[in-house]
A and B are shown apart, each in its own frame.
Chain A
Amino acid sequence: MTDLGARRETVLLVVDGNEVHAGETELLIDACERTGTYIPRFCHHPRMKPVGMCRMCLVEVDVGRGRSLQPSCMVTVADNMQVYTDSELTRKAQDGVLEFLLANHPLDCPVCDKGGECPLQDQTMAYGPGESRFVESKRHFEKPIPISDTVYLDRERCILCDRCTRFADQVAGDPLIHFMDRGYYTEVNTYPDEPFSSYFSGNTVQICPVGALTAKPYRFKARPWDLAETVSTAWVDAVGSRITVQSSRNKVLRLLGIDADPVNRGWLSDKERFAFEALNSDQRITGPLRRSAQTGDLEPVGWGDAMAYVASLLADINPERVAVIGGARLTNESQYAWAKLAKGVIGTDHVDAQLDDGLPAELVLGLPRATINEACQPGGTILLLGPDPKEDLGALYLRLRHAILNDDVTLIELTPHGGGLSGIAAHSLHPVPGELAALAAALVAAIGDPGPTPAFNATRVPASAIAAAAAAVHGPVTVVLGRASIADSAQGVIEAALALNELADVKFLSALRRGNVHGALDAGLAPGLLPGRTTLEMGADRFGEHWNAIPSATGLDTAQILAASAAGLVDVLILLGSDPLNDFRDRAEAQAGLAGASTVIAVDILPNDSTRGFADVVLAAAGPTEVDGTFTNLEGRVSVSCRRVDPPGTARPDWMIAAMIAESLGADLGVDSVAALRDELYAVSTVHRSLNEQTLTGELINGVLISGPGDIGLPEVTEATIPVKDAYSLRLVATRRMYDGGTLVAHSPASAGLVCTMQLRLNPTDFAKLGVQPATMVRLVSLKGALTTPVFPDGGVPAGSAVIPAFVPGSPANQLINASTHVTDVRVERL
């Protein structure tokens, strides 16, 4: 594939009589397209290695040895190369290939989902003989066959271009679809009992040049010419993948990845791609709900009644007794409106967009930040100190994987257990929970002093392994930093990050997972912060002009809010698109906090356990495809997120709800549109200064990077004492899966069947001590609770750790975890 990065155009060739400048390693097909000569193709894809299989891109090439037909996707440009893309021989060859492709193609375009946007159809119009000479009977296969829970395969339509199989093998690393049989009978298929269960299978549907691969959510839903589309940003995780949202008749039907070079390069995880289904769910909250005093159920009310009730709750309240949890779902503009409402109007600083599963805002914003492209630059080193990107940040996983495999990037894992990238990691160091900080310190020491390996270090990871990993560090270092496990506190990650910050030439790429959480931090939805990466103290002067008031003291974070609420110190708890019962890492604490609040106001798009059980009033919010706004991804890249359809029922944008609440309190947010919110945010914030309507539309695809720590300094952290683990216990590790019990997944039919099940994985030595067969049911007990689970040995788990998925519906790991301790010790009991 052509390197799309830095390119020096030093080669001069002649295409159809015109001189063309091209880069040294550029492929002929790309050089021609870039300079305005389109060569038809099916198998060539700019983000994958060429194979030259379809033969559609044959052109006559002369490099001094006479003219010959060459596949332009396999030929690198050369000086004085003469290319004839429209010669008689070229056209005959291309027409011939097209006729061959159509010979056994079913031509069922009228009932094919691809019809209207089909490269084969388009090229048949542009090239090809127009009439078929093929009178034999066509090749038949059973059609369509499901190759995974979301993807169907129609082998009759397949033209065997190798795109999906190459993607699965080269890009996703899930080689589960293959060519089978040969010659006339060649087909793409999966092996029996090995479905195409890839987190990235939807990409194959997008790059299929015919209608052979179709995804369940879009099958027979629309014709391409009926679709209207808008460039937007994916919202389910913090990568901020660029997408087009396509809708028909006021309903979103499909998301497609866009090739934004700094972000997702055209690829999406299936969760990003199919999450729109949740927005079309019939469970959507379409209007305000209020808990009936008689039945105890949430019942629909009008917006007027709802707002009056909310106003009655908040009027003249002591701001110290109001708290807001959540906000990562919102657009930047809505986040700003809510920050202004909470901090400027109500006057509380108990606002936290993270649910104690992230990192302190000071750490994320204060460390030197890397972009994805910087992390992936050839010859560098990536230290993965966070969640498994394959599970949490799918599109980022594909970028990292590509860089490690193709650009000589070295990966060193400092993760609690093996994950999606372990197979290609140069070194995998898996500390037991509580030892991460010591491991990072030992690694930094070993990098600084490559002398003899110390015989002892403070972790159970062998010193020799640390020394070997340290020796492999080269070039610029990027730390991918996030919370891998919810079973231990952020303390270890914070200490480790501060230790790694001592390395020379080091940058950090945040791996916080939750949607627009980085936008929330920038908008000040964190205790002690104001919009624009500034603190209550530093920003006080600047905000006076636009804000009536600013809280005087730093407020509580989510854990502290819930504790205070449980102690009866919170009158109004606002859940801004959050579900503490499932998202907070201590279920008992969340339950006590929700029960302890006098009133719970929820602002959300879908019902969840917390709102069902505890909300007194629910305000219906518009979903990501239903509002205009911007999104900030984990690099700090701001990109537009557009309204494509109307919100269901009377659901309203979050910023509008904030404005309505302010109004009902007799205040005025001073903004009446997204544009006004944007203008005010960009005016009060120093880091958003580079943004305006022009820069956002000018960089519609790539977005605009906002950088700099603003006024934020690194947090000061004292070393915590980690309790010693007793010999009978294991340290709990609870890590996220792509398909877990989350609200969006649960309401997406395409993903609902893929939700992970509970399983406990132990190091084989720990497993052997249990004396049971794999998959035996055992009881996992902590001081807080217990759950039953099948147990399996796993060599990727370090001795002393017990790994479970963080959020399996029905048996959430947070029932075992105590939020007030740094680590969670568990015991495994045979039943």
Chain B
Amino acid sequence: MKPTNEYVEHAAGYVDNEGPKIVTGRFVHEDSHRMRRYQVTGGYQGLRAALARRPSEVHQEVNNAALLGRGGAGFPAGRKWGFLPPGRFPYYLVVNGDESEPGTYKDRLLMERDPHQLIEGCAICCYAAGVQQCFLYVRGEMALAQERIAGALNEAYAAGYLGHNICGSEFSCDVVLTIGAGAYIVGEETALIESLEGNRGMPRLKPPYFPAAIGLYGQPTIVNNVETLSNLPWLMRNGADHYKTHGSAQSPGTRMFAVSGHVNRPGVYEVEHGVVTFRELIYGDNFCRGIPAGRELKTFIPGGGSAPWFFPEHLNLPLEAGPVTAAGSMLGSGAIVVMDDTVDVVKAAHRLVRFFAHESCGKCTPCREGTSWEEQILARILEGEGRPSDIDLLLDIADNISPGPYPVASDVDRGLDAVPFPPRQTTICPLGPSSVAPIVSSIRRFRHEYDAKITRRDKIPVVAEPIGVTR
């Protein structure tokens, strides 16, 4: 079907642009979530192809394709599966569908529009890694995704693609749908495992709790992102060699990017990995078509709310983990937030920090106390009560959460070099350090805006109920 290069009405936010389609190919069909449609569009052929081969061969195929994890860290999926210690059965597969990074909404579309593709991916992964039990953890707020996955699971069980002796083979596998309770931190894999076990969603310490060694119920566990697994059916149908014809050498295949903010056509795009640049994505006709009313780009976040910010001089970087990391940020979960010259960066930083302060689980001290302290200082500055010492205080609090130079983009005008990703942390998980990204990024580039606020003491309404009120 020829791409329309328009929004797809029934897939809210998805733009059916030109280019190869690996995971979003069915989105244009209104009934893409039904087994009927799935089967006539190559559905479960990947699983059948996998079952015709030995598990180790399937694993090798994924290794050959160099399929990178799409959850944020970008770790090769095949290598992750290889970390399971041999013989310590049972293994578990946990699918991280707790997508809640600010700006990210690609996994939701995959789960709503093509749940069978995800389920088939789960089955292939289980077959390759020797797993018989898979848990699909879907974020609590995503009601439609939960409903669609539940329906698809029923269809898949009825059709014999899950359960005992799948497609007449020796392979049996169960997939269980679990619904989260709405906490950002549960997107962190160890917190997700805690939540699955019925505990408070709080991260575990690594070491010793690497999921591959001590995961769900203490057993070796693979935690993969929805988009990562959704690549597997196509990969098994078409083979690693074909897969690698798309994208760059280091980052084969395609990736979904969710663009939001000040662009003419925000939305989710399936983009060739490592080939397209930020400039093409934001300004290209095939993609977001530039910034409204011809205004100037001020800054953009390349990988979701936890990523350090990029500036106009970074537009020519490719959408690929390596170069972005070296430039001081991360591609993360594929969420690009574009801010034009009308944006008040202090307010933007405050809004992001407030998110992290609100979502901090409270387990470790620097994150629990540090994020809310930062939020309170930023709110105070916005309310016209800032102090000149506040800026250095913010940076020092940031340093106490994430010691040492924090990852930040280069600043050519001031002759400042980039600090490559990732940050160091005094916390258990990366949530605390994530809250630092908007602060360090905005202060380094726009310190004068902070100074102006502190000097002029303009009162800018913040939010109705700031964190830190008495209960």
A-B contact pairs, 14 of them (CB 8 A): A68-B424, A69-B425, A93-B400, A104-B369, A135-B387, A136-B468, A160-B368, A182-B183, A183-B372, A184-B362, A184-B371, A185-B471, A186-B361, A186-B368
Interface size on A, residues (CB 8 A): 40
Report how far A544 CA is from B364 CA in the complex, Å: 69
List residues of B (305-320) whose CB comes within 8 Å of A's CBs: none
Q: Is the Cβ of B373 less than 8 Å from the Cβ of A183?
A: no
Report how far A101 CA is from B357 CA in the complex, Å: 16
Q: Is the Cβ of A53 less than 8 Å from the Cβ of B468?
A: no
Report how far A176 CA is from B175 CA in the complex, Å: 34
Q: Which residues of A contact B428 (CB under 8 A)?
A: 52-53, 55
List residues of B (206-244) whose CB comes within 8 Å of A's CBs: 207-208
Q: Which residues of B contact A183 (CB under 8 A)?
A: 357-362, 368, 371-372, 467
Q: Which residues of A contact B266 (CB under 8 A)?
A: none
A interface footprint on B397-438 (CB within 8 Å = 1, 0 otherwise):
101110110000000000000000000111110000000000
Q: Which residues of B contact A179 (CB under 8 A)?
A: 200, 362
A96 within 8 A of B: yes
CB distance from B467 to the nearest CB of A (A): 6
Instruction: Give the interface of B toward A (CB within 8 A).
Output: 183, 200, 205, 207-208, 357-366, 368-373, 376-377, 380, 387, 389, 393, 397, 399-401, 403-404, 424-428, 467-468, 470-471
B interface footprint on A149-173 (CB within 8 Å = 1, 0 otherwise):
0000000000110000000000000
Q: Is the Cβ of A96 less than 8 Å from the Cβ of B372?
A: no
CB distance from A94 to the nearest CB of B (A): 9
A8 within 8 A of B: no
Q: Is the Cβ of A184 less than 8 Å from the Cβ of B467?
A: yes
Q: Is the Cβ of A53 less than 8 Å from the Cβ of B376?
A: no
Report how far A300 CA is from B277 CA in the complex, Å: 99
Q: Is the Cβ of B205 less than 8 Å from the Cβ of A96?
A: no
Q: Which 8 A-B pairs have the closest CB atoms?
A: A96-B400, A186-B362, A183-B360, A100-B369, A184-B372, A140-B470, A136-B376, A52-B205
Report how far A104 CA is from B373 CA in the complex, Å: 9
Report how far A134 CA is from B400 CA in the complex, Å: 14
How many residue pairs, one in A and one in B, have C-beta atoms under 8 Å apart?
A: 114
CB distance from B17 to the nearest CB of A (A): 39
CB distance from A179 to the nearest CB of B (A): 6
Q: Is the Cβ of A93 less than 8 Å from the Cβ of B205?
A: no
Indicate which residue in B208, B366, B389 contacts A96 across the interface (CB closer than 8 Å): B366
Which B residue sits closest to A135, measured CB to CB?
A: B387
Which B residue sits closest to A92, measured CB to CB?
A: B403
Q: Is the Cβ of B364 less than 8 Å from the Cβ of A133?
A: no
Q: Is the Cβ of A89 less than 8 Å from the Cβ of B404?
A: yes
Q: Is the Cβ of A101 less than 8 Å from the Cβ of B377?
A: no
Q: Given contacts A52-B428, A97-B365, A97-B400, are A136 and B471 in contact (CB under 8 A)?
A: no
Report how far A645 CA is from B118 CA in the complex, Å: 74
B interface footprint on A47-80 (CB within 8 Å = 1, 0 otherwise):
0000111111010000000001101001100000
Which A residue sits closest to B358, measured CB to CB?
A: A183
Q: Given contacts A100-B369, A183-B360, are A92 and B400 in contact (CB under 8 A)?
A: yes
Report how far A186 CA is from B376 CA in the complex, Å: 17
B interface footprint on A87-99 (CB within 8 Å = 1, 0 otherwise):
0010011011101
Indicate which residue in B183, B360, B364, B404 contacts A53 across the interface (CB closer than 8 Å): B364
Report how far A61 CA is from B179 CA in the complex, Å: 39
CB distance from B221 to the nearest CB of A (A): 20
Report how far A186 CA is from B427 CA in the complex, Å: 16
CB distance from B434 to the nearest CB of A (A): 13
Q: Given contacts A92-B400, A160-B368, A185-B471, are A55 and B427 in contact (CB under 8 A)?
A: yes
Q: Is the Cβ of A53 less than 8 Å from the Cβ of B365?
A: yes
Q: Is the Cβ of A97 less than 8 Å from the Cβ of B393?
A: no
Q: Which residues of A contact B380 (CB under 8 A)?
A: 136
Which A residue sits closest to B467, measured CB to CB?
A: A184
Which B residue sits closest to A102, measured CB to CB?
A: B369
Report how far A75 CA is from B205 CA in the complex, Å: 10
Report which residue of A55, A71, A136 has the largest number of chain B beta carbons within 10 angstroms of its beta carbon. A55
Report how far A137 CA is from B368 CA in the complex, Å: 16
Q: Which residues of A contact B387 (CB under 8 A)?
A: 135
Q: Given contacts A89-B404, A93-B403, A184-B467, are A103 and B360 in contact (CB under 8 A)?
A: no
A141 within 8 A of B: yes
Q: Is the Cβ of B369 less than 8 Å from the Cβ of A103?
A: yes
A689 within 8 A of B: no
Report how far A134 CA is from B205 CA in the complex, Å: 29
List residues of A (94-143) whose CB comes within 8 Å of B's CBs: 95-97, 99-101, 103-104, 133-137, 139-141
Q: Is the Cβ of B362 less than 8 Å from the Cβ of A100?
A: no
Q: Which residues of A contact B426 (CB under 8 A)?
A: 55, 58, 69, 93, 96-97
Q: Which residues of A contact B205 (CB under 8 A)?
A: 51-52, 71, 74
CB distance from A190 to the nearest CB of B (A): 15
Report which residue of A69, A95, A103 has the largest number of chain B beta carbons within 10 angstroms of its beta carbon. A103
Q: Given contacts A133-B393, A183-B359, are A55 and B471 in contact (CB under 8 A)?
A: no
Report which residue of B183, B362, B467 has the largest number of chain A beta carbons within 10 angstroms of its beta carbon. B362
Taking A58-B426, A136-B380 as known contacts, 9 extra A-B pairs with beta carbons closer than 8 A to each other, sorted by chain A number, are A96-B366, A96-B399, A96-B400, A100-B366, A136-B373, A136-B376, A184-B357, A184-B467, A185-B471
Q: Which residues of B contact A71 (CB under 8 A)?
A: 205
Q: Is the Cβ of B365 less than 8 Å from the Cβ of A55?
A: yes
Q: Which residues of A contact B403 (CB under 8 A)?
A: 69, 89, 92-93, 96
Q: Which residues of A contact B401 (CB under 8 A)?
A: 96
Report how far A490 CA is from B161 CA in the complex, Å: 65
Report how far A727 CA is from B205 CA in the complex, Å: 60
B interface footprint on A176-206 (CB within 8 Å = 1, 0 otherwise):
0001011111100000000000000000000
Report how far A53 CA is from B369 CA in the complex, Å: 12
Report how far A58 CA is from B467 CA in the complex, Å: 28
Q: Is the Cβ of B365 less than 8 Å from the Cβ of A184?
A: no
Q: Given contacts A52-B205, A93-B426, are A136 and B377 in contact (CB under 8 A)?
A: yes
CB distance from B314 to the nearest CB of A (A): 28
CB distance from A246 to the nearest CB of B (A): 31
Q: Given contacts A74-B205, A89-B403, A97-B400, are A55 and B467 in contact (CB under 8 A)?
A: no
Q: Which residues of A contact B364 (CB under 8 A)?
A: 52-55
Report how far A103 CA is from B425 CA in the complex, Å: 19
Indicate which residue in A55, A92, A103 contacts B373 across the interface (CB closer than 8 Å): A103
Q: Which residues of A contact B370 (CB under 8 A)?
A: 100
Report how far A136 CA is from B425 CA in the complex, Å: 24
